[in-house]
Structure 1
Amino acid sequence: MAGLMLAQAPSFQNPSSAPSSIDKPAAVSPAEMSINSAFWGSSIKLNCSPSHALCKASKADRRAAGLSARCDATKVMAASTAMSGTPVRSTSILVVGATGTLGRQVVRRALDEGYEVRCLVRPRPAPADFLRDWGATVVNGDLSKPETLPAALVGIHTIIDCATGRPEEPIRAVDWDGKVALIQCAKAMGIQKFVFFSIHNCEKHPEVPLMEIKRCTEKYIVDSGLNYTIVRLCGFMQGLIGQYAVPILEDKSVWGTDASTRIAYMDTQDIARLTLTALRSEKADRKLFTFAGPRAWTTQEVINLCERLAGQDAKVTTVPVGVLKLTRLLTRLFQWTNDAADRLAFSEVLTSDVIFSAPMADTYVTLGADSKDTTTLERYLQEYYTNILKKLKDLKAQSKQGDFYI
């Protein structure tokens, strides 16, 4: 599918309104959003226009690096004329970021509910065979290479964007430049709904590059004219397994801070379920929701819960917030450590005295969902420890050794 020519594209809605290319933006409105350049290690001010204009510095950076950000809408419009009337099924979904913690749950849920799921996956040494095994179609594409996007969007009704950059990548490459290219292509090719996952309270932290980019992307989608649903998230329960549950079982150190941040973690399976519910509801069209778990937890409360369920004490190493701030300042001094500094900025927010949570009563009513179906953190970790301890017990029973160490 990734190798399809644009001439095979189905008809597109209102092709005359499509931009001629991503690098040729529409008129810019007087209102502009600014990403603070200090956090990019640059003296250039980055302006993110809410009227489909690319960030000027981002475009220059791409050209300097030899990357094309053009979604050739001229060919798209020609194809739409040749293939006028080709229907696009409302059950056809493209999941971007399908191999990630959230993306894979969205794929499974969508397949279970009868959707035809296509997954945009970057070329990788280990192929995403598990997605094919589930019944999804996998196409190769890369948000940092916009020329790979149009073919992946052929015949797609809805895009669900779960993607984010890898830790070793510059934050802008995927989370801003790549998303701009994807949104422009979606607009040019007549995608009928765009679901975007953002971060709770992103508008309150312009000093954090990732959160400011999320805010800019939200605005970009709203002003694109696409039919959208934006979902802000607080935190994944799955992330707590590697961070706390496993190290405590293995008698290794777990890292915490001296801050009292509270996070309403949510199971990604519940996020996927609610997302697919929103996809079917017209009440979710052009709306922004925040998905949060039933309760907000501090780091120490999570550690205490893991200790109780594991039946052993944790070795906690506390990192003062001041150390994180100092580390970020030091990494900002060097060009090659700027990306690390950007990610440390995000960790500072998570270790400050804030609450990442939101009331969900109205959201459940709007989506026609039942709050009782949402997994609590106690239940999630209880199921994990019950399963893992049973497996460890079985392994110990089968072992010929007198002692068994985790």
Structure 2
Amino acid sequence: MTTILVTGGTGTLGRLVTERLRAEGHEVRTLSRRTRPYAVDLREGGPGLDEALAGVETVVHCASTPRGGDERAAQNLIAAARRAGTGHLVYISIVGVDRVPLGYYRSKLAVERLVEESGLGWTVLRATQFHDLLVTVFQALSRSPAVPLPAGVSDQPVEVAEVADRLTRLALAAPAGRVPDMGGPEVRTLDSLARAYLRATGRRRAVLNVPLFGTSYGAFRAGRHLVPEEAVGKVTFEEYLARRFGR
């Protein structure tokens, strides 16, 4: 039995990874800001982090936020993992962090580099956007009579449970470095994805494709966040919607 720490263990991905690792018979500790006994803010560190890592052989680092602080959190986690003698650090990143000049993506790329240079055994997996994230975005946008979307942008959403399955396998294996990216089964226009969401939820809204400007928008239009050659996911967006909304 391995002792494993999952950061962000109560989040969308971390919760599923935790469930799978426990089902495999391992001792799993979940670390988040509010969940005891390992309630730790990684951005602050402190003795609670050392307690959480005591005796831990593998860390699966799922904690992340676009509000900032990921790099500081990773620095604290890596330092504590070194002190604890942890042998394997697994990090979930995003496809395109090295090709899309978005602030959050740059932060994720910086964390990748910290992991690679940590001196620990490491594994990094990049995945495309989860189905859940698209639904969250469409829910917010559809509060208005029209749904505005960035024109000419596509996405390749992937089922979070499938990413959790792969992270679990990686956590239980030897450190593998940067592994092949993981993308959803289809590259789809945002327009088609939004319309599928509206049909599944029974909402009538106009969909507006709005041209934008800037280097990040240009990178998304160019598909630099996509990996059609790694379309290994099985669950389509419509299948996810049918399961979630029953339509």
SS of the aligned residue for 1:204 comes to coil
- The equivalent of 2:77 in structure 1 is 182
With 297-306 and 211-220 compared, the bigger mean Cα shift is at 211-220
* 1:198 maps to 2:97: no
Q: Which of 33, 44, 69 pairs up with 1:145?
A: 44
Q: Using a 3 Å threshold, how does the CA distance of structure 1 residues 145 and 246 change in structure 2: closer, same or farther? A: closer
CA contact (8 A) 1:296 1:355 kept: no
Q: Using a 3 Å threshold, how does the CA distance of structure 1 residues 296 and 239 change in structure 2: closer, same or farther? A: same
CA contact (8 A) 1:149 1:185 kept: yes
Q: Which of 208, 224, 236 pairs up with 2:130?
A: 236
The two structures, once aligned, show a CA RMSD in angstroms of 2.7
TM-fit CA distance, 1:380 = 0.8
Q: Using a 3 Å threshold, how does the CA distance of structure 1 residues 261 and 355 change in structure 2: closer, same or farther? A: farther
TM-fit CA distance, 1:319 = 4.0
Q: Which of 181, 191, 213 pairs up with 1:290?
A: 181
Q: Distance in 2 between matches of 1:252 and 1:107?
A: 40
TM-fit CA distance, 1:202 = 1.5
Aligned residue runs from structure 1 range 6-405, under 5 A: 89-90=1-2, 92-123=3-34, 128=35, 138-147=37-46, 148-165=48-65, 167=67, 171=68, 174-205=69-100, 207-244=101-138, 253-258=146-151, 260-282=152-174, 285-311=176-202, 313-322=204-213, 325=214, 348=217, 351-358=220-227, 359-360=229-230, 374-386=234-246
CA contact (8 A) 2:43 2:73 kept: yes
CA deviations on 1:16-54 (whole Å, 9 max, x unpaired) are xxxxxxxxxxxxxxxxxxxxxxxxxxxxxxxxxxxxxxx
CA deviations on 1:314-333 (whole Å, 9 max, x unpaired) are 233544313xx5xxxxxxxx
CA contact (8 A) 2:66 2:104 kept: no
Q: Which has the higher helix share?
A: 1
In structure 2, runs of 5+ residues without a counterpart are none
SS of the aligned residue for 2:19 comes to helix
Q: Distance in 2 between matches of 1:357 and 1:310?
A: 26
SS of the aligned residue for 1:102 comes to helix
CA contact (8 A) 2:5 2:31 kept: yes
SS of the aligned residue for 1:160 comes to strand
With 142-151 and 310-319 compared, the bigger mean Cα shift is at 310-319
CA contact (8 A) 1:321 1:351 kept: no
Kindly, what percent of the aligned residue pairs are identical? 24
SS of the aligned residue for 2:12 comes to coil
Q: Distance in 2 between matches of 1:217 and 1:251?
A: 36
CA contact (8 A) 2:191 2:207 kept: no
TM-fit CA distance, 1:233 = 1.8
Q: Distance in 1 between matches of 2:199 and 2:65?
A: 35
CA deviations on 1:227-256 (whole Å, 9 max, x unpaired) are 1110112101011223226876x7854331
Q: Using a 3 Å threshold, how does the CA distance of structure 1 residues 180 and 116 change in structure 2: closer, same or farther? A: same
CA deviations on 1:274-308 (whole Å, 9 max, x unpaired) are 111222334x6223331111111211010222244
Q: Distance in 2 between matches of 1:246 and 1:217?
A: 29
CA contact (8 A) 2:191 2:209 kept: no
CA deviations on 1:46-97 (whole Å, 9 max, x unpaired) are xxxxxxxxxxxxxxxxxxxxxxxxxxxxxxxxxxxxxxxxxxx52x111111
SS of the aligned residue for 2:70 comes to helix
Q: Distance in 1 between matches of 2:15 and 2:116?
A: 26
Q: Which amino acid aligns with 1:151?
A: E
Could you say which structure has the greater relative contact order, defined with CA pairs below 8 angstroms and 6 or more residues apart? Answer: 2
Query: Normalising by the residue count of structure 1, what TM-score does the alignment of the two structures yield?
Result: 0.54
Q: Using a 3 Å threshold, how does the CA distance of structure 1 residues 304 and 152 change in structure 2: closer, same or farther? A: same
Q: Which amino acid aligns with 2:38?
A: V
In structure 1, runs of 5+ residues without a counterpart are 1-88, 129-136, 326-344, 365-370, 390-406
